[in-house]
Structure 1
Amino acid sequence: MPISIAQGSWLGSIRAFCQPPVIAMLFLGLSAGIPLLLIFSSLGLWLREAGIERATVTYFSWAALGYSFKFVWAPLVDKLPLPFLTTWLGYRRSWILFSQLMIIISICLMAFIDPHQDDLVLMAFAAILLGFSSATQDIVIDAYRIESAESSLQALMSSSYIAGYRIGMIVSGAGALLLANHLGSSIDSYSYSAWQWAYLCMASIMLIGVITTLLISEPRQKIHSNFFHDTREHVQLLTLFTLAVTGFIAVYFFSADTANQLKAELTTLFSNRPLASVLVEFFRLGLALAGASLVTRLLISSGLISYTLVTKTYIEPVKDFFSRYGYSVAWLLLALVGLYRISDIVLGVISNIFYQDLGFSKPEIASVVKTFGLLMTLLGGFIGGLLVLRFGVIRILFIGALLSALTNLLFMLLAQIGHNMPMLYLVISADNLSAGLASAAFIAFLSSLTNVSFTAVQYAIFSSLMTLLPKILGGYSGSMVELFGYEQFFLITALMGVPVLVLISWINKHIKLNV
């Protein structure tokens, strides 16, 4: 049965952190946090040491776009049972375990590819598989969290999850860097074996999440009446997903040459290569989505896929959200979801390369940025969870967004000063405290928007939208830095936070939310 907490004293709020479901979220958060930096910053440093140019390195951040499109396969995770595993563990735990095993396999695949000698396409494939598997794990853990506790405990569950997530990031960020450095790899002396063993160690640490999944219990809320139990529906849903994704990929594949030509022409027209690339890629994204939609329509019109199944899977969760808030309010809420993390994510893609360009060594980056910085994020998440309980989500959401934008300006000072450890500590402290506070409030906010009848799908849509635009822009951060320089780039990321503040103020003034 779901647990709850009476809001009263600070002591009662702190004691709630000791409840078993909250502790379980700590370890599940660690499992979710391990893969992220193995796609982003740790992989970025590995590729740089292997001699890959900066712009190409930041393109690899697109391997994590699986996080931004996870709403596409969230219905499969939400509705389809896994052979043997679901009978043994239940719907949520079976999918968590399956995704964790896929993450371990993906990390091991990356470990056995040397980017200095092997084709980068192989590394990209392994990174995409890791992003896909990790995003799947996130879908189920988010659903498990929301279904395991009432709304009054969601802020603390979110804080515990963030704490575990950040610990996982310390392990895969600082841990991987320190291991690779200890085993003999550096920017001046690249060692493939050092990075290989570092990644294999990260794969082994994922066993903590596997053990947690086996020990926790399945949520007891009886909300799964909409699961598909008919084999024909299983086949139809898998067919729909497979062919729609095939149509999406086909558009990208066949438009590659045309896209390159358009980028060259627009670069000449605008005298701005990053802008040209962004415009072309957004256009390709729209075409790819249209291609997937066309495939879906053809499958329905041919009778191969039931319209009722599509409605039940994709349309009803979206319809429920718009019916609860109304179209105008719902679009504003979605705009806030899509823009809230834009400042942090766009900056974060290139942050490790920035530190390295300033002359900071891997041990310095590991100790200050990855370890100390993420500890500050844990503190920020803890404070954010308590503040949400005391003052409500919206107020802390605004404060978190304001601090996140302002702290990006500190990176401009660091770029001017250069290699300076005290300044690095100051910047990382401010940036990570604000990020932790903002994340705790934002996760609680997203949870409050989710109808428990459509947990996995609706939350997957929100969290996908949250990262889609920032990650697409983040893939061009290397090109933007080459064009504008670091100082102007950091100013641009700070200004990206201004529309977020306007949206939160408007929503707080005109919309009454139960948060």
Structure 2
Amino acid sequence: MTVGSTPPKTLYQALFNKRMLICICTGFSSGLPLYLLIQFIPAWLRSFDVDLSTIGLINLVLFPYTWKFIWSPLVDRFVPPFLGRRRGWMLITQLGLLLAIASLALYDPTTNLTKIIWTVAIIAFLSATQDIVIDAARREILPDDELGAGNGFYAQAYRIASFVPGSLGLILVGFYPWSVAHLSIAAFMLVGIVTTLLMSESSKPSEVPHTLKSAVIDPFKEFFDRDGWQSAVWILLFIIFYKLGDSMATALETPFFLDMGFSTVEVGTVAKISKTIGATVGTILGGVVMIKLGINKSLWIFGVFQIVSILGYVALSIVGYNYLMLAVASGFEYFGVGLGSVALIAFMAKSTSRLFTATQFALLSSLAAVPRTFISAGTGYIIEAVGYTQFFLICFACAIPGMLMLFKIAPWNSQKTAVEETIAE
């Protein structure tokens, strides 16, 4: 060891520190509103006999997740008058989410569908804005040697948050009015609020962009100039297509389970527990395996699992009401989802410049949300036209183009992705 050098961290020091706790709590706060929108709201509306086509179209109001890169520079440029640039925006969005989610308790889907749609749109906007700030703060507080562990903890906490609307919420409506479930879910936003108040500000005043040009134009210019616009377009298309199949398959999975004859309590227990176990194992195993395999081979192997896992839903649509099949199909599907998510997050992190992490990551994560919003919006029409079995086979086919793009993006025998080679040059 040279004089003045920093001794390497132990595994304990790298995994058990305040930074990791912040990643866990902010990951939970990020995941809660999204899973409310994609799991709890569809079940709520379906229980009041709202048709699948309408439920599918409601995904369109989730557009903030795909367009958040447009206002992410403004979040970078302007600093709230309290708590600092990151913590100030985090508190604003989290308080807004608590109030908006709680307000859903006031509505009846049979008479207030328009108001529900507007509220869902507000929740999506606030949630997407919270994600912008949390992603930037996470990158700022984590040293390079903790990026993998920190993002892994964040991703897992994000998944665990789905337990609240997707399990606890659905169990509650088996015994209490839907309004009780809405208020209970809203209360869990306090996890993020308390974390924001207790953590330290990660952003330095000197890092705030002084002009709108430096906040808006420079991040995009660097991304598209790095190795030419053609290479940038390949990266953006890959991010859209890599998880297209599983995003479509899970878009209306709660109504799918209900249509198979399962009750909300059964979905909230059997399916939710199986999905969480599958996603947890997939995320943790994926993070560990990536250390040995690297990004390229992980994208290939995890992508295969991601595609094959869709076939579990094909089997469930054929078998119908069966506890074991529900557990196996949902657990296997989310095992693939967990693996694929770990690989894609790592790829997106490698695709951003440290100088423009907030805006560039917002751009990439916005594109990653495209299948979940715009493309998934039509899933209800497809299901009603061809049925569940044929629909999931279509999802399987839609996952293939993303895998084929790996020949260009991440060749199996290359030690680096196309992105890493570009940055190295």
Q: Same fold (TM over 0.5)?
A: yes
Aligned residues: 412
1:421 aligns with 2:323: yes
Q: Distance in 1 between matches of 2:268 and 2:7?
A: 37
Q: Distance in 1 between matches of 2:138 and 2:161?
A: 18
Q: Distance in 2 between matches of 1:325 and 1:315?
A: 17
- Shifted more, 501-510 versus 130-139: the winner is 501-510
Q: Deviations over 1:453-504 (max 9, x none)?
A: 2222111110111112442121111110011111111011111111111112
Contact 1:13 1:386 in 2 (8 A): no
- How far 1:428 sits from its partner (Å)? 1.7
- How far 1:6 sits from its partner (Å)? 6.3
Q: Deviations over 1:228-253 (max 9, x none)?
A: 5xxxxxxxxxxxxxxxxxxxxxxxxx
Q: Deviations over 1:117-154 (max 9, x none)?
A: 22x11110000000000000111111111122234422
Contact 2:58 2:377 in 1 (8 A): yes
Equivalent AA in structure 2 for residue 426 of structure 1: V
Contact 2:137 2:203 in 1 (8 A): no
The equivalences for 1:309-320 within 5 A come to 309=212, 311-320=213-222
- How far 1:227 sits from its partner (Å)? 4.3
What secondary structure is seen at the aligned counterpart in 2 of 1:329? helix
Equivalent AA in structure 2 for residue 166 of structure 1: R
Contact 1:39 1:63 in 2 (8 A): no
Equivalence for 1:62:
60
Equivalent AA in structure 2 for residue 59 of structure 1: L
Alignment partner for residue 288 of structure 2, among 377, 380, 386? Answer: 386
Q: Identity over the aligned pairs, expressed in percent? A: 30
Distance of aligned partners of 1:225 and 1:20 in 2 relative to their CA distance in 1, 3 Å threshold: same
Equivalence for 1:443:
345
- Structure 2 residue runs without a partner (length 5+): 1-5
What secondary structure is seen at the aligned counterpart in 2 of 1:392? helix
Distance of aligned partners of 1:352 and 1:14 in 2 relative to their CA distance in 1, 3 Å threshold: farther
Alignment partner for residue 338 of structure 1, among 240, 244, 254? Answer: 240
Structure ID, larger Rg: 1
- Shifted more, 436-445 versus 388-397: the winner is 388-397
Distance of aligned partners of 1:317 and 1:506 in 2 relative to their CA distance in 1, 3 Å threshold: same
- How far 1:168 sits from its partner (Å)? 0.9
The equivalences for 1:320-399 within 5 A come to 320-399=222-301
Q: Deviations over 1:423-479 (max 9, x none)?
A: 111112211112112112211221121112222211111011111244212111111
Q: Deviations over 1:375-405 (max 9, x none)?
A: 3212211111222223212221222222111
Equivalence for 1:100:
94
Q: Distance in 1 between matches of 2:323 and 2:312?
A: 14
Distance of aligned partners of 1:223 and 1:344 in 2 relative to their CA distance in 1, 3 Å threshold: farther
Contact 2:248 2:371 in 1 (8 A): no
Contact 2:60 2:374 in 1 (8 A): yes
Equivalence for 1:406:
308
- How far 1:505 sits from its partner (Å)? 2.5
Distance of aligned partners of 1:401 and 1:326 in 2 relative to their CA distance in 1, 3 Å threshold: same
Equivalence for 1:180:
173
Equivalence for 1:112:
106
What secondary structure is seen at the aligned counterpart in 1 of 2:278? helix
Q: Distance in 1 between matches of 2:310 and 2:375?
A: 16
Contact 2:313 2:330 in 1 (8 A): no
Distance of aligned partners of 1:513 and 1:117 in 2 relative to their CA distance in 1, 3 Å threshold: closer
Contact 1:223 1:453 in 2 (8 A): no
Q: Distance in 1 between matches of 2:296 and 2:206?
A: 28
Contact 1:103 1:134 in 2 (8 A): yes
Equivalent AA in structure 1 for residue 102 of structure 2: C
1:514 aligns with 2:416: no
- How far 1:223 sits from its partner (Å)? 6.4
- How far 1:14 sits from its partner (Å)? 7.3
Q: Deviations over 1:129-185 (max 9, x none)?
A: 0000000011111111112223442222121111111111111210110111121xx
Q: Deviations over 1:336-361 (max 9, x none)?
A: 11112211211111111111111111
Contact 2:307 2:336 in 1 (8 A): no
Q: Distance in 2 between matches of 1:512 and 1:122?
A: 46
Equivalent AA in structure 2 for residue 72 of structure 1: I
Equivalence for 1:264:
none
Contact 1:146 1:447 in 2 (8 A): no
1:201 aligns with 2:195: no
Q: Distance in 2 between matches of 1:365 and 1:381?
A: 22
Contact 1:64 1:128 in 2 (8 A): yes
What secondary structure is seen at the aligned counterpart in 2 of 1:475? helix
Q: Distance in 1 between matches of 2:327 and 2:8?
A: 38
Q: Distance in 2 between matches of 1:95 and 1:466?
A: 23
1:224 aligns with 2:207: yes
Equivalence for 2:126:
133
- How far 1:513 sits from its partner (Å)? 4.0
Equivalent AA in structure 1 for residue 420 of structure 2: N
Give the TM-score of the pair, scaled to structure 2.
0.92
Q: Deviations over 1:178-210 (max 9, x none)?
A: 111121xxxxxxxxxx11111111111110111
